[in-house]
């Protein structure tokens, strides 16, 4: 049993490291399609780690969480974003507001901060995933950094969804996740929000012929 649990922990730690690596890749990605692909891979890693935790700990509600993540974050949302990018013809550079090397340096600082912040919390946690809490918090901070360093609407929304991935991974690391009803409610809210934002993107494009949100600053009350 101990050897089996150790093997599971090794796989979970590997997937957690993959989540962090993908977060850095998303920070450096310059094309929207590439960013969507990385988001789908992040969702796949999150779904796999959740399923392994469910298997190794007997937390059966996590199987539903893993399936929900797979359907929404790996299949439905990436498919929606791919179609959106194709219809809007916006597969161009992401245009970060801060150059990539500086952004990556800030990301490294945020990771160090996240690990130091998570250390006392992980010591109080009794889950088998407590060692990955630092990576989960780092994923949240890197996604937030991606949101504030991008000027286009779609990368900002993907950054928000990546931050939600990190929060879910943190919840799983600390307490084996939220109750299933809460997770399904949050997933439904996120799905509806993404479709509403898709309509919003079309409105921005028709008004400004661009998805750069800095154009919104030009709107003034008459």
Tell me: the pLDDT tens digits for 75-119? Answer: 888 888 888 788 777 666 556 677 888 889 999 999 999 888 888
Residue 54 makes CB contacts below 8 A (sequence gap 6+) with 60, 61, 62, 63, 65, 66
Domain ranges of the chain: 2-218
- Structure tokens of 150? 């991008």
Mean pLDDT (the chain) is 76
85 neighbors 161 (Cβ within 8 angstroms): no
Model pTM?
Answer: 0.78
Nearest to 213, CA basis, from 160, 145, 154, 142? 154
Q: Would you tell me how many other CB atoms lie within 10 Å of the CB of residue 188?
A: 12
Tell me: the pLDDT tens digits for 164-222? Answer: 888 888 777 767 655 554 555 455 556 556 655 555 555 555 554 554 545 444 544 44
CB-count burial class (<10 Å; 0-12, 13-18, 19+) for 135: buried
pLDDT of residue 105: 92
Give me the residues paired with residue 16 across strands: none
pLDDT of residue 24: 92
Least confident window among 37-41, 56-60, 74-78, 203-207:
203-207
Phi and psi at residue 150, to the nearest 5°? -115, 140
19 neighbors 45 (Cβ within 8 angstroms): yes
Q: CA 183 from chain center: how many Å?
A: 15
Least confident window among 41-50, 115-124, 136-145, 203-212:
203-212
- Residue 20 and residue 18: Cα distance in Å, rounded? 5
Angle between the 2-28 and 133-148 helix axes, to the nearest 10 degrees? 10
- Residue 52 and residue 26: Cα distance in Å, rounded? 25
Angle between the 77-88 and 32-57 helix axes, to the nearest 10 degrees? 180
pLDDT of residue 69: 85
Count CA within 13 A, CB hemisphere, residue 106.
16
């Amino acid at each position: 049993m101990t050897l089996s649990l150790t093997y599971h922990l090794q796989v979970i730690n590997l997937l957690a490291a993959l989540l962090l690596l993908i977060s850095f890749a998303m920070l450096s990605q310059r094309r929207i399609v590439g960013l969507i692909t990385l988001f789908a891979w992040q969702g796949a890693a999150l779904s796999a780690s959740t399923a392994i935790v469910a298997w190794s700990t007997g937390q059966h509600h996590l199987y539903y969480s893993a399936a929900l993540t797979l359907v929404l974050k790996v299949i439905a949302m990436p498919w929606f974003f791919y179609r959106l990018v194709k219809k809007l013809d916006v597969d161009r550079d992401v245009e970060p507001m801060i150059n990539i090397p500086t952004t990556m340096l800030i990301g490294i600082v945020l990771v160090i901060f996240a690990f130091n912040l998570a250390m006392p919390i992980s010591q109080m946690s009794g889950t088998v995933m407590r060692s990955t809490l630092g990576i989960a918090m780092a994923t949240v901070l890197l996604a937030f950094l991606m949101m504030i360093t991008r000027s286009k609407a779609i990368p900002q929304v993907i950054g928000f969804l990546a931050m939600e991935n990190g929060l879910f991974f943190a919840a799983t690391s600390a307490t084996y996740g939220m109750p299933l009803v809460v997770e399904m409610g949050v997933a439904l809210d996120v799905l509806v929000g993404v479709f509403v934002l898709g309509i919003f993107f079309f409105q921005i494009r028709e008004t400004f012929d661009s998805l750069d949100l800095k154009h919104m600053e030009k709107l003034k009350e008459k």
